[in-house]
Amino acid sequence: MEKRAAMDSDQVYDVLVAGGGNAALCAAITARTAGAKVLVLESSPKHFRGGNSRHTRNLRCMHDRPSPPLTGSYTAEEYWRDLSDVTDGHTNEVLARMVIAGTASCREWMIDHGVRFQPSLGGALHLSHTNAFFRGGGKSLINAYYRTAHRLGVDIEYDTEVRDIGIDEGRFEHAVVVHNGQERVIRAKAFVAASGGFQANLNWLREAWGDAANNFIIRGTPYDTGVVLRALMDRGVKTTGEPTQCHAVAIDGRSPRFDSGIVTRVDAIPLGIVVNTRAERFRDEGEDLWPKRYAIWGRLVAQQPDQTAFVVFDAQAIGLFIPPMMPPVEAASLAELGALLDLDPVAFTRTVSVYNDAVQPGTFDRTALDSCTTQGVVPPKSHWARRIDTPPYYAYPLRPGITFTYLAVVVDERARIVWEDDTPARNVFAAGEIMAGNILGQGYLAGLGMSIGTVFGRKAGEEAARSARDDR
Amino acid sequence: MARVCNACRYCEGLCPVFPAIERRLSFSESDLRYFANLCHDCGECLDACQYAPPHPFGVDVPRTLAAIRRASYQHYAWPHAFSGLFERSTLTLVLSAVLAPVLFAATLAVTAGAETFLAPHRDADGAFYQVMSHTAMVGLFGGLAVLSVMALLVGVFRGWQDLIDTAVPAPSPVTVRQALRDVLTLRYLGPHRDVDRGFRRVWHHCTFYGFLLCFAATSVAAVYHNLMGWMAPYPLLSVPVMLGVLGGVGLILGPIGLLWIKVRRPAERHDRAQFGMDVVFLVLLFETSVTGFLLLALRESAAMGPMLGIHLGAVAGLFVMLPFGKFVHGVYRCCAVLRSVIEGGLK
């Protein structure tokens, strides 16, 4: 009965939200609280609801003084510097500063709507002054938001994909949705696009990356196929960012194609060396502290032959990084390890010995930019360089793990999407990964995705409810 | 499963099981038994898990640990020949909750003679002992208690060896005190909004403290009888009866509440064999309490004899089953909580 009512074609909703992750629910809850009649369309089955938010664990927050669980302070200026640093200026400063300011107050709102926080996770203590961790991780957050949305009377439909949207003279009129294989038209006064990037759409990835995309692994939800993004593009929305830009990290090459989340991430890179399939090193593995560099390795591996690389380390590194789900490849000698990895054993042992010979004496400290460095090898290893000489030897095969794509619909500070002629839409809004590229043109900062989703989700919900109210 | 958890760590703030996993890089069978006995089966981590079934990784921590926990009870049980009882819940239910009371009452009827057995008695005459002599009662229950406690102690010793002796450092008064506090307050049987809104802790408190009060009632009665020479039955406002009534109420409400929560849990949240074991213990506690109240109400009527037989039979069934049923969970849970406190507990 409930289902029929929610999907009733005669009904006109105030706000229709496409997507079921953090940004979508922040928008839905905010719009509902403002009095709007809201329908959320989540394309996944109930169990896999929440998009990539299911795999998240924290959000990056500014705060001027210690505010549990956050330690120390993280001012808006520091936040902005970190962001412009990783994006190399490819960011919209107005929107970025709006997100940063929004993170100062959003935790209270989150707590009011059921989210719980906890101190930094073990192995992520370096984030304790910048990132607030969700108790129980992103799925707990998502569960809390769905519970709240349900209690407030938001209508929610699972297994329901928005296939197309009807726009008339720049105004959203209806969405064409598919539920249980049946196509329906749902009308609403305002539309919020919070349906993620297109990273799970392998054809689209191939358009951008060519055949290299065949070797990409999608870390998150298989439901982010970019259908709404494409529909908006077809209707003349202005976009920003390159289709090849994305948040990508190096993950275990043996991971399943989709949805393996955090447990396949390989954080051993600063503790060893990385070689490609030609057994050559290609990048300084100890350039900077790992949290500042982990997000560049997805692209680096994507640029190697067969989009494959191997991180190689020895017994000294065991216990110094969070072990991924699958055990590493292990061998008693380097030659044996090379053979197991299908590398030319001569080239591989030579690469390791050239590196070993270049290692200078120093004092190892994993938590700081230490004095262990190399001399006379290209590329160098600037920190944490220790000889790889203590058996057993280990390796993880690496592949690019795509978290989400940055090609985005352009939005303004009211979360309205902007048409190609630079006019903002009256009743179409966007939040989350589908517009994150406005702020993240390249690079990544841990916890920023959830910050953008939360701040813009709430903004989109508020504006959508207002737009629907003005429409009455 | 433990490898996925150790790589993910999102549940670290939920309970001490996850920090315990994170402290290790590899997991021995003894480690798994430790995690399993530390788990209070609240189910919160299953809801929080991004890898829970139907995800292809199929991580189900509560159910996995429930199976290991059940196997650990059998692993520690002594005499080992009886360890099969943990799995055969229907059999143990029939033996202890049905046959024991019926046979006990029948035996009393035969030994006391039908006339005495079915006659109304007055409290003043030491009613209970007219049906079964005090010596027989003490002899029988003392014997059962000695056997049960012996079996339990051996099990506890084995559990202690497995769960505590390997802990570094050894327990200290500080860690023991903290562990006791965690256990007595059921700190980790947390409210889980999706599942029970915190009632499980309430019902468990009723059951546990009800059990303690009943035990206290029996102990006071033993002192009355042996030191003061006062004979049972005691008046309604006496200490043993009041303690027994309070504890008995707990032992009625608690098991009903726990059973209610248990049956309402969806099937995919149960380890089947564990479920049977839980039900047997709860039914036995409930039966003991209800028959106790009936005995109190009917003790000056002709039904006193049969009621006494049934009640004592239920108590005997409960006693015999203690080392081979759910009762043991408390002991091993204490060991596991103590070890977790020693290791640093919840971060």
| Residue A27 pLDDT greater than 90, yes or no | yes
Omega within 30 of 0 (cis) for the link into B306: no
Q: What is the pLDDT of residue A9?
A: 66
What does residue B103 show for φ and ψ, rounded to 5 degrees? -65, -40
* Contact between chains at B6 and A323 (C-beta distance less than 8 A): yes
Q: Is the CB of residue B11 less than 8 Å from the CB of residue B18?
A: yes
* Contact between chains at A135 and B55 (C-beta distance less than 8 A): no
| Residue A210 pLDDT greater than 90, yes or no | yes
Q: Which residue of B has its CA nearest to A257?
A: B56
* Contact between chains at B12 and A322 (C-beta distance less than 8 A): no
* Contact between chains at A319 and B4 (C-beta distance less than 8 A): no
Give the closest residue to A213 by CA, choosing from A260, A263, A248. A248
* Minimal C-alpha gap between B175 and chain A (Å): 22
Residues 6+ apart with CB under 8 A from B324: B77, B82, B83, B85, B86, B92, B151
Q: What are the pLDDT digits (tens) for B84-139?
A: 888 888 888 888 888 999 999 999 888 888 888 888 877 666 678 888 888 888 88
Q: What is the pLDDT of residue A142?
A: 97
Q: What is the pLDDT of residue B125?
A: 65
pLDDT band, very low/low/confident/very high, at B236 (cuts 50, 70, 90):
confident
| Residue A4 pLDDT greater than 70, yes or no | no
| Residue A386 pLDDT greater than 90, yes or no | yes
Q: Is the CB of residue B213 less than 8 Å from the CB of residue B240?
A: no
Stretch B30-58: mean pLDDT, rounded?
Answer: 94
Q: What are the pLDDT digits (tens) for A266-314?
A: 999 999 999 999 999 999 999 998 888 888 999 999 999 999 999 999 9
Which residues of chain A are at the B interface, by a Cβ-Cβ cutoff of 8 Å?
47-48, 54-55, 57, 118-119, 121-123, 133-140, 143, 147, 256, 259-265, 318-319, 322-327
| Residue A2 pLDDT greater than 70, yes or no | no
Chain mean position to CA A282: 25
Q: What is the pLDDT of residue A216?
A: 97
* Minimal C-alpha gap between A262 and chain B (Å): 6
Share of chain B above pLDDT 90, in %: 56
* Minimal C-alpha gap between B32 and chain A (Å): 17
- ipTM of the modeled complex: 0.93
| Residue B44 pLDDT greater than 50, yes or no | yes
Neighbouring C-beta atoms of residue B334, cutoff 10 Å:
22
* Minimal C-alpha gap between A342 and chain B (Å): 26
Least confident window among A115-129, A135-149, A430-444, B231-245: A115-129
Asked if the C-beta of B318 comes within 8 angstroms of chain A's C-beta atoms, the answer is no
What does residue B187 show for φ and ψ, rounded to 5 degrees? -50, -35
Q: What is the pLDDT of residue B117?
A: 86
Asked if the C-beta of B123 comes within 8 angstroms of chain A's C-beta atoms, the answer is no
With beta carbons under 8 A apart, name residues in chain A contacting B10: 57, 121, 134, 136-140, 262
Which residue in the set A118, A323, A324 is minimally distant from B13, CB to CB? A118
Chain mean position to CA B86: 13
With beta carbons under 8 A apart, name residues in chain A contacting B14: 135-136
Residues 6+ apart with CB under 8 A from B124: none
Q: What is the pLDDT of residue B225?
A: 87
Q: Output the pTM of the full model.
A: 0.92
Q: What are the pLDDT digits (tens) for A308-329?
A: 999 999 999 998 998 999 999 9
Stretch B133-162: mean pLDDT, rounded?
Answer: 91
* Contact between chains at B8 and A54 (C-beta distance less than 8 A): no
Which residue in the set B9, B13, B193 is minimally distant from A123, CB to CB? B9
Stretch A104-113: mean pLDDT, rounded?
Answer: 95
* Minimal C-alpha gap between B148 and chain A (Å): 41
Q: What are the pLDDT digits (tens) for A218-259?
A: 999 999 999 999 999 999 999 999 999 999 999 999 999 999
* Minimal C-alpha gap between A348 and chain B (Å): 28
pLDDT band, very low/low/confident/very high, at B347 (cuts 50, 70, 90):
low
The tokens describing B323, both together, are 């080392």
Ramachandran assignment for B9, one of left (phi > 0), alpha (psi -120 to 50 degrees), beta (any other): left
* Contact between chains at B25 and A322 (C-beta distance less than 8 A): no
Q: What is the pLDDT of residue B193?
A: 57
